[in-house]
Structure 1
Amino acid sequence: MRLGTGIGWRPEIADAVEAMEGIDWVEVVAENVCPGHLPHSLLRLRERGVTVVPHGVSLGLGGADRPDEGRLTALAERAEALGAPLVTEHIAFVRAGGALTASPHLEAGHLLPVPRTRDALDVLCENVRIAQEALPVPLALENIAALFSWPGEELTEGQFLSELVERTGVRLLIDVANLHTNHVNRHEDPAEALAALPVEAIAYVHVAGGFERDGVWHDSHAHPVPRPVLGILTDLAARVAPPGVLLERDENFPGPAELERELASIREAVAAGRARGRAAGSTAVRGAVGGGAGGVGVLARPAAGVRGRLAVAQTAVLSSLVAGTPVPEGFDRVRMGVQARALAAKRAGVVAKVAPELPVILGADYREAFLEYARRRPMRAGYRQDALDFAGHLLKPGRPGDARAHRALRDWWLDRAGPAPRKPGLLARVLRRRALREHL
């Protein structure tokens, strides 16, 4: 099937998405929906015939460990609940440490690049095949944006993706914004990457915005889609008619009119690319969402010790980013510093969303206090636990602070982690009243 033009469904823009004309499909972050309690907006879209695709962010198929069975089961359940024709994930690692390294478990809370080496490719291919066997529908994997490069890489991005497809039959989700990010940050030519891609494997395409600061491109998903990204989309469409193209926006949501304009720009970029392809006599295939991308080669298991070597390398990288250990030899220390600060900032932002009472209690001190806490304290079990750990850190005896804030923070912590939780909603009402009094 061909997907058409879509947009990333988010609760903040659910009403706007429902009202849009010409939306053929939507993508939802898989971890943000519960199969038994789907948002009414998604149910109404499905009733209208709008396709919904779950997009996972936590499998970490590029990590040294084999995919977690629980996470695979959860992703499969969401695909079935949504009636999705496929599911998507990322070529990335998101955690490290643990049994393979006999070291503490580390969570990145973000997608990090895998080294483009033979060892990493062998592990990724086996992990992909494990995931494919567990999922009820085809799997497509997305190329990610990166702020840093691994030393000693053996393959270009195009070569890495081509061999992955050849060996596993997995489909590709090509993010043209990520190609632009890697062009700025890693000096990789998007045209070369496109030329090496097996275009018949493309399931659909992501388009998103970002911003540049001090020579570094940040893939924010919170800014308008820039011209260079639309240009890469046009170049891709000149080679192949994308089965689907989707606009991603995760923060700083504009009004419906601006979203509609961005979607119109995306359609125009695709149309321009198709016209260019026809003028050049392009023989690019029209991909279709379905089974594998062609013949699948024999999948050899990674040689003994490969997972262990990859685990050690990824743990050293992640530890330097989230726990303040030295940057491994060969990495750009400046870029690793940028990545570390970006991870901490994201943690602060997400914790503020999952525990909105904390910024109310701490006021203007919240962000600085959280970044100080996160500098050498890795996230250990997701963002909700991170919020509890942060509050527990601030409540340690002897820490200076405002007495009223300390009492409110203690009440909040006891409400969620104490042995006898208080009446539901009581603390939230108290905090809202306190915030209102301070505002007045």
Structure 2
Amino acid sequence: MELGIGIGWRPEIADAVERLPGIDWVEAVAENLCPGHLPESLVRLRERGVTVVPHGVSLGLGGADRPDAARLAELAARAEALAAPLVTEHIAFVRAGGELTASAPLEAGHLLPVPRTWDALEVLCENVRIAQDALPVPLALENIAALVNWPDEEMTEGQFLAELVERTGVRLLIDVANLHTNRVNRGEDPAKALAELPVEAIAYVHVAGGVERDGVWHDTHAHPVGPEVLGVLAELVSRVSPPGVLLERDDAFPPEAELAAELAAVRAVVDSPDATAARPGPPSAHAGVGAAATRPGPAGVDAPGIATARLGPATGRAAVGSPSAATDRRVPLALAQTSLLSALTAGTPMPPGFDPGRLRVQARALVVKRADVVAKVAPELPGILGEGYRPAFLAYAGSRPQRGGYRRDALDFVEHLLARGGHDAEVRRQLTRWWKERAGGRPPGRAARLLRGLARAA
């Protein structure tokens, strides 16, 4: 399906999106939509014939657990309410812990990278098939940006994506800003990734801005799209004509004229005669498989890692593609992801093999994002605490993982402040009233919070 040029729909720029010329389609964050009460702006766009694609952020298909049936049902309902031609999600994990590790559940509040190993791929493929069976429309998955590399990875990003497409038939949402982010932060060449992945499987493309600080690229979606990212987009369109290209902006929204100028810059790259002339001819019968990675076979013989392969390493593990393969690999993956997420969000020791400096940067990024999102979902709290909001939240969240989304995070933060004390009477009164209006009853005191924490740990 040809989508054209689009923009990410956000409530803050809803009116501007309706007025922008040349908008063929929009993408909306699925979790922010209620199927029975769609925003009037999206309804009007639909009535004008503008395609709306729901973009999920919470499935965690790269996690060790099987996809949650309720989350899949909610995503399916949003797709049907919007009459969407497809839905999209991410190749990432967003939570860990729980039953597979007999430990407390942990929420990242962010998209974290999946190790590019054969075992992780097996789990991801099974999760993708489960999601495909539950959704009423095709699924496309997005490559993510990352600050850290998993140790002992066995594939490049392009090879990993090619194997995923070959085994599941899933479409790809290629974010060229994320490819640039991984170039700066992980030393990966975007051109090499594009050469290895099956570009014919691309459903559409994301373009977004970011900023570099101290040698780290932050994929903020709050800065203009720079020449670095447009260069990666040009590399992609020299290889294939993408069905759709979409501009993402999630914060620090500029004036409407600046959004229009960014869209014009994106369109100029997509429509460039040089890009069209550089594209290769029609794909061969084998196109779409990408640059095949190899998986070690018995006695060190390399065998192509394709969907029909049955020979795994001679270690006694289940063979690739066998019914029990993903099940056998879930617990080790769960332990590894829980160890990483606990280090990032709960202050536990860093797992071996990771770059400690990059883990500290990632941990800081997670807690800063939590502070920013909580300030959005509970704007009264910065109003009550003033300049003390951010340092108080960062101190609270540094060793306290999320346990139920950002609204629950806001409640837990206020409970922590009230139990700790130290604020004047008026601030305490306002915080108590805020908590009671949203949770009812009386905020738990220090003893109650301690008992609840012990219960969760047990």
The TM-score with structure 1 as length reference comes to 0.91
Q: How has the CA–CA distance of structure 1 residues 164 and 14 changed in structure 2, closer, same or farther, with 3 Å as cutoff?
A: same
Cα drift, residue 297 of structure 1: 3.8
Tell me which residue corresponds to 2:241.
Answer: 241
Cα drift, residue 399 of structure 1: 2.2
Tell me which residue corresponds to 1:19.
Answer: 19
The alignment status of 1:413 with 2:435, answered yes or no, reads: yes
CA shift digits 1:126-160 (9 cap, x unpaired): 00000000000000000000011101000000000
How many pairs are equivalent? Answer: 412
Tell me which residue corresponds to 1:403.
Answer: 425
Q: Separation in 1 of the partners of 2:275 and 2:438?
A: 58
Q: How has the CA–CA distance of structure 1 residues 174 and 389 changed in structure 2, closer, same or farther, with 3 Å as cutoff?
A: same
- Name structure 2 gaps, 5 residues minimum: 290-305, 309-320, 444-458
Assess if the C-alpha contact under 8 Å between 1:97 and 1:106 holds in 2. yes
* Matched residue type, 2:376: K
Q: Separation in 2 of the partners of 1:160 and 1:280?
A: 26
**Which residue, out of 327, 341, 357, partners 1:334?**
357
Tell me which residue corresponds to 1:362.
Answer: 385
Q: Separation in 2 of the partners of 1:307 and 1:62?
A: 11
Q: How has the CA–CA distance of structure 1 residues 22 and 378 changed in structure 2, closer, same or farther, with 3 Å as cutoff?
A: same
Tell me which residue corresponds to 2:280.
Answer: 282
Tell me which residue corresponds to 1:136.
Answer: 136
Assess if the C-alpha contact under 8 Å between 1:239 and 1:284 holds in 2. no
Tell me which residue corresponds to 2:292.
Answer: none
Q: Separation in 2 of the partners of 1:369 and 1:238?
A: 49
Assess if the C-alpha contact under 8 Å between 2:8 and 2:27 holds in 1. yes
* Matched residue type, 1:352: A
Q: Separation in 1 of the partners of 2:103 and 2:366?
A: 21
Tell me which residue corresponds to 1:72.
Answer: 72
Q: Separation in 1 of the partners of 2:352 and 2:210?
A: 30
CA RMSD of aligned residues (A): 1.7
1:74-153, aligned counterparts within 5 Å? 74-153=74-153
Cα drift, residue 282 of structure 1: 2.0
Cα drift, residue 417 of structure 1: 1.3
Cα drift, residue 197 of structure 1: 1.2
Q: Separation in 2 of the partners of 1:303 and 1:8?
A: 34
- Name structure 1 gaps, 5 residues minimum: 286-292, 422-440
Q: Separation in 2 of the partners of 1:412 and 1:41?
A: 30
* Matched residue type, 2:174: I
Query: 1:405 aligns to what SS in structure 2?
Result: helix
Cα drift, residue 418 of structure 1: 2.0
The alignment status of 1:50 with 2:68, answered yes or no, reads: no
Tell me which residue corresponds to 1:429.
Answer: none
Query: 2:254 aligns to what SS in structure 1?
Result: coil
CA shift digits 1:15-61 (9 cap, x unpaired): 00001111000000000010000000000000000000000000000
Q: How has the CA–CA distance of structure 1 residues 411 and 283 changed in structure 2, closer, same or farther, with 3 Å as cutoff?
A: same
Query: 1:305 aligns to what SS in structure 2?
Result: helix
Q: How has the CA–CA distance of structure 1 residues 420 and 372 changed in structure 2, closer, same or farther, with 3 Å as cutoff?
A: closer
Tell me which residue corresponds to 1:168.
Answer: 168
CA shift digits 1:163-184 (9 cap, x unpaired): 0000000000000000000000
Assess if the C-alpha contact under 8 Å between 1:240 and 1:284 holds in 2. no
Cα drift, residue 214 of structure 1: 0.4
Q: Separation in 1 of the partners of 2:78 and 2:187?
A: 37
Q: Separation in 2 of the partners of 1:191 and 1:20?
A: 32
Tell me which residue corresponds to 1:177.
Answer: 177
Tell me which residue corresponds to 2:10.
Answer: 10
Query: 1:239 aligns to what SS in structure 2?
Result: coil
* Matched residue type, 1:394: L
Assess if the C-alpha contact under 8 Å between 2:123 and 2:327 holds in 1. no
CA shift digits 1:265-286 (9 cap, x unpaired): 00111122xx23543462156x
* Matched residue type, 1:406: R
Cα drift, residue 419 of structure 1: 2.9
Query: 2:100 aligns to what SS in structure 1?
Result: coil
After the TM superposition, which of the residue ranges 301-310 and 76-85 deviates more from structure 2?
Answer: 301-310
Q: How has the CA–CA distance of structure 1 residues 39 and 304 changed in structure 2, closer, same or farther, with 3 Å as cutoff?
A: closer
Query: 2:141 aligns to what SS in structure 1?
Result: strand
**Which residue, out of 356, 373, 376, partners 1:353?**
376
Query: 1:380 aligns to what SS in structure 2?
Result: coil
Q: Separation in 2 of the partners of 1:78 and 1:367?
A: 34
Q: How has the CA–CA distance of structure 1 residues 278 and 383 changed in structure 2, closer, same or farther, with 3 Å as cutoff?
A: closer
